[in-house]
Structure 1
Amino acid sequence: MSQPDIHYLTTPAAVQAAADAMRPAPRIAVDLEFDDMRHRYGRNLALIQIFDGPSVYLIDPLPLTNPAQDLEPIWELLRDPAIEKVFHSCKSDILLLDELYGVHVRHITDTSVQYTLLAEADNNISLGRLIQSELGLEVDKGEQKSNWLKRPLTDAQKVYAANDVIYLFELADRLTAKLEALGRAHWATEENAALETVRYTRDERPYLRIAGKYRILPDELPLFRDLYLLRDQVAKQLDRPPYMVFANDRLSELVRTTPRDLSDWKAARGLHPELKRAPYLDQLAALSADTFVPAPEPAATGEQRRFPFRRRLNGQKAAQADAREQLLLQLKAFITTDINGFVANLVLSNRLVADIVELGAGQVLRPWQQAILRETAERHSLDYGLIAEPF
């Protein structure tokens, strides 16, 4: 494959011209570089890479005065269902586009999804490894952890960014052929279509994820939450990632060994200097061990509790739920024997088993998964109807 031309675009006029050039293409390969709380606060789009066959367009949003508006010609391409968009592992990209710009990508082919459905190995292969395994090429991934918000971009970064899209057509075609040979092309069609419905939802209590990691006890959670939120407030003002205000390890230490008064806070190690100035120092003082008045954490909703459905059951209902689960595990074992364990896990992962027990296979699974489950049940004289409908 000959190397395509690489165009680096930094103006609205250049963006518009590139979009006009790409509009007749039946498909485009797409990737994003973005910073997620590594060098600045929040999630920040740093580069858009698009390949249409003849050319790679590296579209830089940072010099644009109004990126949301100036990139609208690109958003139109991404929304257009007539143009196939080929990604590798696109979920983070499409979530970012929805969160920052309200862009919903249509007609997606994800090479990571295709590879997963081959069920030859565990999920989540990197693009570099996929290029190596399918195309026999070594692609330099040395810029993977670059600061993509720093300007100017280096030549090495531009080559790296271009490599993320120029092989996607060939990969998608090879993987499609493999899936067709296995009779699984419709699996990929269903999974890729489902990606169009992925939407960003704001996590209203992000501190709970970290609290779980550090095994914060219920009576420690109010202080942990308030310190987390104060850190986030300072990070946003400074436009720095929260870890630059103070580290997660330090957050848990401050909860367990909390400064007792203002002088202790001033002497506390590992805190950004801004925290030791007004108005933040006063807020820290209010979190002191001697003065903190905890506001209780709101009760978790049913969706946030772990296994809320099974916990509500007892007696005969609990026994029926257990019977459904045992049938599903039996079917999973048969799929492992009949096809392989990778397919079995695609159809009946632990999470899917729990959801099917409550909601039924008809609501939880894609049609291709339901077909495998139904055929396996019939082959082994088991009653698919027992797990098809909601509990």
Structure 2
Amino acid sequence: MEKLSLEEDGVAIELVASDAELRQAVQQLEQCDELAVDLEFDQNRYTYGFNLCLIQVADGKGKCFIIDPFYINNLDSFFQLMGNPAVTKIIHHSNNDILLLDKMGCSVKGIVDTDVAAKILNYERSSLATVLKEEFGKEIDKSQQSSNWNKRPLTEDQLRYAAIDVIYLHQIKAKLLQEIKQLGRMHWLEEENLLLEQLKYTESENPHLRLKHSYRLNYYQQYLLKSLYAFREDLAQQFNKPAHFVIPNEALVELANNPNTDLHEWLNHTRGIHGNLKKPKNERLLENALQGAKEAAKTNNISHDYPEHRFQRPLRTPETERRKELLTMVQKEIMARYGEYASKLIINQSLITDYSQSGKLRCTKKYATSIVMEVAKDLGIALHVSAAPQQLGE
């Protein structure tokens, strides 16, 4: 592959597209105390599944490595670097990056999330583009944001865009953390970062029941939907297309709701069905999957009764309304003291609803619990805490 020679705002961009180049890059990066990291991935947008497409790492010293995993057989050396807590990883809005790396067997340590830092500083919008404009007056081009990162070769515009996502993060971290320290909120950021490190990728136990209107189906129909969902996943993986490109979600639920429909007619008159599924071979596979699900449902005596509504409205009594009102008063005072957007890290509607129902404050963040209890005390409101938040790392 031809050696890349690009530069962006004084930072040299180096494409890493072989195992040998990755080893050399990691050797250089291991000498740094802080690295800025970002991933480009495809999550059922153009291809099947949640897949890594690109890794960007800036050393803060004038070099940015663009690591192309499509040409690399073994990312273990990079994963070990990401797992080294002695090297700080500056990531902007890290949740999905952490989850994808965890899915691939990499546990990231030493995280500083600049998106969280911006929220702590009460940013209404905390995107990288917004933070750069607010803090440095710099406008960045986001036209490549919706690029198909699966396609090769990557364009020069894509590579520059990918580099821009990391080359300013060292400056952003320094500026935001200075402001956070002045506000005395560093312990907020430290706890939030430790919570991010504990994120784990998990597959949903019953993903078919997350489809819109699936809760309206009876037990028998939901049983069929589970089999149809699994069939669609297998086919999507074969086609390497997002599952909803093979059969749209609402069409899948519709088929489970009307399982005795003429499949050939259904396939050819339903919008959004992938062309490959209409081939005789795949049509027969769908027919077999549906018939097999019907027979299994009969064998297992699956009921045609309807389940109780899974989304029960919270119980409303004078006591739950009183609790809700008290904690809402606390929320308003927190917003006044810390700012509307920073307050969302401390208290939200879900916490208020849970307290109104249970009568106990169940907050997983130590700093947030401390603030809520302190504000409540100042307002003369007695709150009950379920238990002291567990120490992070225990």
Q: TM-score, normalised by structure 1?
A: 0.84
Query: Which residue number in structure 1 is paired with residue 374 of structure 2?
Result: 375
CA change 1:359–1:106 in 2 (3 A) is farther
The answer on whether the counterparts of 1:356 and 1:387 sit within 8 Å (CA) in structure 2 is no
Deviation of 1:221 after TM superposition, in Å, equals: 3.5
Query: Which residue number in structure 2 is paired with residue 274 of structure 1?
Result: 276
Query: Which residue number in structure 2 is paired with residue 98 of structure 1?
Result: 102
2:48 is paired with a residue whose SS is coil
Q: 2:264, 2:338 → 1: CA distance?
A: 66
Please say which of residues 176-185 and 194-203 is displaced more in the overlay.
176-185
**Pairwise mapping of residues 138-287 of structure 1 onto structure 2 (< 5 A)?**
138-212=139-213, 216-218=216-218, 220-255=221-256, 260-265=261-266, 267-269=268-270, 270-277=272-279, 280-285=282-287
Structure 2 gap ranges (5+): 1-7, 389-394
The answer on whether the counterparts of 1:221 and 1:297 sit within 8 Å (CA) in structure 2 is no
The answer on whether the counterparts of 1:43 and 1:96 sit within 8 Å (CA) in structure 2 is yes
Deviation of 1:288 after TM superposition, in Å, equals: 7.3
The answer on whether the counterparts of 2:16 and 2:67 sit within 8 Å (CA) in structure 1 is yes
CA change 1:164–1:376 in 2 (3 A) is same
The answer on whether the counterparts of 2:212 and 2:250 sit within 8 Å (CA) in structure 1 is no
Q: 1:120, 1:275 → 2: CA distance?
A: 47
Q: 2:328, 2:238 → 1: CA distance?
A: 51
Q: 1:157, 1:286 → 2: CA distance?
A: 44
Query: Which residue number in structure 1 is paired with residue 328 of structure 2?
Result: 329
TM-superposition CA deviations, 1:217-272 (whole Å, max 9, x none):
44654444443332222111111112331333443454566673354246444432
The answer on whether the counterparts of 1:35 and 1:45 sit within 8 Å (CA) in structure 2 is yes
Q: 1:24, 1:82 → 2: CA distance?
A: 11
Task: Say whether 1:342 aligns with 2:341.
Answer: yes
Deviation of 1:37 after TM superposition, in Å, equals: 1.1
**Pairwise mapping of residues 32-47 of structure 1 onto structure 2 (< 5 A)?**
32-47=39-54
Q: 1:8, 1:77 → 2: CA distance?
A: 18
2:145 is paired with a residue whose SS is coil
User: What is the count of residue pairs matched by the alignment?
Assistant: 371
Q: 2:366, 2:263 → 1: CA distance?
A: 61
Query: Which residue number in structure 2 is paired with residue 9 of structure 1?
Result: 16
The answer on whether the counterparts of 2:212 and 2:249 sit within 8 Å (CA) in structure 1 is no
Q: 2:369, 2:323 → 1: CA distance?
A: 15
What value does the CA root-mean-square deviation take over the aligned residues? 3.3
Q: TM-score, normalised by structure 2?
A: 0.83
Deviation of 1:120 after TM superposition, in Å, equals: 3.8
Task: Say whether 1:113 aligns with 2:116.
Answer: yes
Partner of residue 62 from structure 1, selected from 62, 66, 70:
70
CA change 1:360–1:84 in 2 (3 A) is farther
The answer on whether the counterparts of 2:39 and 2:52 sit within 8 Å (CA) in structure 1 is yes
CA change 1:263–1:104 in 2 (3 A) is closer
Q: 2:289, 2:331 → 1: CA distance?
A: 51
Query: Which residue number in structure 2 is paired with residue 52 of structure 1?
Result: 59
**Code of the aligned partner of 2:142:** K
Q: 2:303, 2:26 → 1: CA distance?
A: 49
The answer on whether the counterparts of 2:36 and 2:57 sit within 8 Å (CA) in structure 1 is yes
Task: Say whether 1:30 aligns with 2:31.
Answer: no
Structure 1 gap ranges (5+): none
